[in-house]
Amino acid sequence: MNAEFDFDKMNGLLPAVVQDSRDGEVLMVGFMNREAVEKTLEKGYVTFYSRTRQQLWMKGESSGNRLKLVSAHTDCDRDTLLLRVEVEGAGVVCHRGTRSCFTESVAQLSQRTAETKAAVVKETR
């Protein structure tokens, strides 16, 4: 089925971008090994491979916020997936309680890092 995916560039994994099929919001990026891709296509719900836990996990299996697959595309190099989904349950994808995981702007991050540094400098004076 996925004989043509290129799993070699990332030691057996493909990054998978999850996008809300209704409004195009990018919700998260996860990683998939061959088994996770097969399970996702077979079940119609997104299953990732956790790099930290080194095991498969169906996103939202316990919370109910499962990602129902609407379409799956690969790119010109066949080393990445774009999955359009409908979020079930409360519609919350991030474990922090937000819809998308991409909530922190890099400008905010830079600002906060600068403030932390300034506070540290102040404290250590």
> What's the closest the beta carbon of residue 24 comes to a second copy, in angstroms?
3
The number of residues that bind a second copy (CB under 8 A) is 42
Q: Is 104 in the site for a second copy (CB under 8 A)?
A: yes
Q: Is the Cβ–Cβ distance between 48 and 36 less than 8 Å?
A: yes
Q: Is the Cβ–Cβ distance between 69 and 40 less than 8 Å?
A: yes
Going by the DSSP 8-state scheme, the letter that residue 74 receives in this structure is E
Which member of 50, 55, 63, 110 binds a second copy (CB under 8 A)? 110
Q: Is 23 in the site for a second copy (CB under 8 A)?
A: yes
**What is each CA distance from 42 to 25, 35, 113, in whole angstroms?**
25, 10, 43
Instruction: Select from 25-33, 42-50, 55-63 the region that touches a second copy (CB under 8 A).
Output: 25-33
> What's the closest the beta carbon of residue 90 comes to a second copy, in angstroms?
17
Burial of 59 (0-12, 13-18, 19+ CB in 10 A): buried
When the beta carbons of 109 and 119 are compared against a second copy, the nearer one is 109
